[in-house]
Structure 1
């Protein structure tokens, strides 16, 4: 919105007689955002008015999409609201989940509880979603425990979130027991369980559940087919994958999204159908995004041979156009060339990477200890216990070698 229109809109809004004209809260939120974008740090009267107004809670709720709510949080508006309600807290939590700010969601929830607000169903659904994406099992169990402790009904929304949460953390048996105990299921519940089976290598169970879902006269949605394609990919069921993709379009009239095309490329690529996967990408009605091309490149690396080099070169060209500064693409290409003995091509890929100022990103791992998730990267020596840890690994290495449990090169330590 042009600055002059922002000014006009804001003063017109402030001049509205509150007792005669209904308050348009969405307008308040939108004007606030425009002020913040045009004059960061000098929102003036409107910014201050919105922070302290009794309509602020509803104003935050009305601002859409979720990215806007995150922006308001980052600009400090939410933190300075003195009259927050459970609704405004939940809106901020939902925005964090929708925008993959899962750590922030957990922190925001802690602040909500410390401020004396009682979590409701929506709050716990957000927490379950964040815990699932973070892979934080203690947090998952705590969120589920809160449902029990607060004697909340296991509604469809809560039940589906719990099934998805446990499945993403690898506890498929927990997810399955919850699923079976639910009094009713909707398409999202069925899809969450199908995806849970698929992502944990239980492809046959996923396909059986889909048949049961159809028997219950529940029509699948786009998430259902993502789970089915994932199952086919991991189980090597190429024909079934093709059939599901066909049914999605022509039987259920669901238009495939980019992630469906990527999943279908994975079905073909994982099973060595590299040329077919490449032809599939070229025939897509959408312009393939980097994820689709990286999926195909990953399949080429999995089945690397001199026969796939032509496809690798074509994929490399597309990725260099779409992501010229992504170091991982160069690393993958160089590794494929090394695997097939094309050393000059591998050296060229790494040289282009160096000349472009790119570095290979260090691998990151995480571990849960004492209820806390700790992240670390390869070669990271910043931990205060680093020297002690290396000493312990060295001692374990020596003892195992004495017991002839390992050879001299089995453990690498600093």
Structure 2
């Protein structure tokens, strides 16, 4: 099959070789590189013409090749006959910081510090700090922070904003707040970073407090800030605040990009306003996998299982490949609708066709689905054959199903013991265990459960719901 782009690339390569490697032509050739094979061709040409000894060419080749294959760029980097520039180091550190192997960014930074005379600059630090956050390397991140202070880069807003996110990624909102408080100049990115840090560390109320301080500082939120604020509303189930943010977006003509629109869909869906979520979802010009998955899960959780299954099929028809979260929403829908055959089919499809390793949530959906349908033996088989120990939610689901649908199979007492071991301070577990013992006629064990509850001061908390008033 004729490929004009490949032919043009080869013609320029020949032209470049025949005209003593014109630098402008080489730059164009590098920019047009899209595949590893083309990188091999250019690399070969550089060696033939001895231009791999040129530091400028080396840096440009690494800049071009690292997004295509960071491993190949690293190989070229380490085998270069000339000393790489700081630009080349920074390029690789940056590329690894956003790759699937961010630890390599930290490793390269350590090599830069120990094996060269080069000094890290304002471009180096944000990338390696980001990598420390992604790897949750608190000690390494703290060491980099100390060097930032020693070298005077603590006044750089980009470095400081990245430090806030790094400490949040390591689960330390206190240190993130300390960096934020010590900033001499805070822009919208700084405030957004601190709000996101509070969310990352599961302090939504604190995130809201930071936003109120942001308003007092008369700093206008951008779309990134608004995405975090909508996540705050989602965590706190605060529909009033969520609607006010939506109104702010509309009145200020803020563009509803895919991230912001998806955050709105999630907020409305989690807060139970599924119709509003669907309206926003249908109005989106662009949707990614996260958008579809959130809408599918929202429909399933709000009792619209048929719509969730239909939406899942629409997503697959469009060519999107479902992920583990997509299947969690789908299996949940099948469970609530009692669609056992469909649930079995989708679970098998997930494992065999999409090669997704089932998680605790997937197994939990299957146990719940079989339990609701009274298929106790099948539910028990899932628990017995799954590769991990069941959690408390799954155990309660199975034990309740067994109690409600009769004892067609002998009950495994070890499941009750495991439940009490996992959650020894929840009164409802003791009540459930006592009920199972009474069904089997083990009245002594029922008395033991009551004594144990009384001794620990435990009570069964009655069911409750959130109600928003005024």
The higher radius of gyration belongs to 2
Q: Of residues 353, 356, 376 in structure 1, which corresponds to 2:353? A: 356
Match of 2:437 in 1: none
Find out whether 1:219 has 2:220 as its counterpart.
Answer: yes
Match of 2:449 in 1: none
Change (3 A) 1:106 1:355: closer
* Aligned match of 1:94: 94
Counterpart for residue 331 of structure 2: 334
User: SS of 2:55's equivalent?
Assistant: coil
**Are residues 125 and 343 of structure 1, via their aligned partners in 2, closer, same or farther at CA, if it must alter by over 3 Å?**
same
SS in 2 for 1:138: helix
> Any conservation in 1 of the 2:269–2:298 contact (CA below 8 Å)?
yes
Query: Partner residue of 1:77?
Result: 76
Match of 1:309 in 2: 305
Aligned to 2:190: 189
- SS of residue matched to 1:183: coil
| 1: CA distance, partners of 2:161 / 2:39 | 42
2:431 corresponding residue in structure 1? none
1:319 shift after superposition? 3.2
CA contact (8 A) 2:350 2:356 kept: yes
**C-alpha distance after superposition, 1:12-44 (max 9, x if no partner):** 5456689xx88687436436x468533747842
Does residue 142 of structure 2 align to residue 141 of structure 1? yes
Partner secondary structure for residue 123 of structure 2: helix
User: Using a 3 Å threshold, how does the CA distance of structure 1 residues 73 and 245 change in structure 2: closer, same or farther?
Assistant: farther
SS in 2 for 1:77: helix
Find the aligned partners of 2:138 and 2:153 in 1 and give their Cα distance: 21
- Deviation digits for residues 93-138 of structure 1 (CA, Å, limit 9, x no counterpart): 1222344541332232233334324322322211111111222222
The change in CA–CA distance for 1:351 and 1:9 in structure 2 (over 3 A counts) is: closer
Q: 2: distance between equivalents of 1:327 and 1:101? A: 21
What does residue 254 of structure 2 align with? 254
Mapped contact 2:309–2:333 kept (Cα < 8 A): no
Aligned with 1:2 (options 2, 5, 11) = 5
Partner Cα separation in structure 2 for residue 114 and residue 342 of structure 1: 61
Which whole-Å CA distance do the structure 1 matches of 2:240 and 2:315 have between them? 28
Task: Tell me the secondary structure at the aligned position of residue 304 of structure 2.
Answer: helix
Equivalent of residue 347 in structure 1, options 344, 348, 354: 344
SS of 1:55's partner is helix
Matched with 1:120 is 121
Using the size of structure 1 for normalisation, the TM-score is: 0.75
Q: How is 1:28-107 mapped onto 2 (pairs within 5 angstroms)?
A: 29-30=30-31, 33=33, 36-38=36-38, 40=40, 43-46=43-46, 49-60=50-61, 63=64, 67-68=67-68, 70=70, 73=73, 76-81=75-80, 82-99=82-99, 101-107=101-107
Return the offset for 1:344: 3.4
Aligned pairs for 1:153-232 within 5 A: 153-232=154-233
Q: 1:26 to 1:95 in 2, by over 3 A?
A: farther
Structure with the bigger percentage of helix: 2
Q: Distance in 2 between matches of 1:111 and 1:319?
A: 45
Aligned to 2:186, the other structure's residue is in SS state coil
- How far apart are the structure 2 equivalents of 1:129 and 1:199? 14
- Equivalent pair of 2:293/2:325 in contact (CA under 8 Å): no
**TM-score normalised by structure 2 residue count:** 0.67
How far apart are the structure 1 equivalents of 2:55 and 2:201? 48
- Asked whether the equivalents of residues 296 and 308 of structure 2 are also in contact (C-alpha less than 8 Å), the reply is yes
Q: Distance in 2 between matches of 1:363 and 1:111?
A: 40
Deviation at 1:317, TM superposition (A): 1.6
RMSD, aligned CA: 3.5
Q: Deviations over 1:174-228 (max 9, x none)?
A: 1112111111111211110121223334334333433433443433222111211
Corresponding position of 1:271: 271
Q: Kindly tell me: are residues 356 and 44 of structure 1, through their superposed partners in 2, closer, same or farther at Cα, counting changes over 3 Å?
A: closer
User: Aligned partners of 1:178, 1:317: CA distance in 2, in Å?
Assistant: 47
Distance 1:8 1:170, change over 3 A: same
Instruction: Give the stretch that moved more between structures: 208-217 or 172-181.
Output: 208-217
CA contact (8 A) 2:306 2:333 kept: no
Q: Does 2:326 align with 1:297? A: no
Check 1:359–1:408 CA distance in 2 against 1; reply closer, same or farther (3 A cut).
closer
Take 1:200 and 1:45, find their aligned partners in 2: how far apart are those partners? 51
- Tell me by how many angstroms 1:267 deviates: 0.6
2 CA distance for matches of 1:363 and 1:122? 41
Cα separation, partners in 2 of 1:28 and 1:323, compared to 1, 3 Å: closer
Deviation at 1:140, TM superposition (A): 2.0
> Is the 2:289–2:322 contact (alpha carbons within 8 Å) kept by the matching residues of 1?
no
For structure 1, which runs of at least 5 residues remain unmatched after alignment? 365-377, 381-405
Unaligned runs of 5+ in 2: 362-385, 389-415, 423-470
Q: CA deviation at 1:261?
A: 1.6
Structure 2 CA distance, aligned partners of 1:63 and 1:28?
A: 10
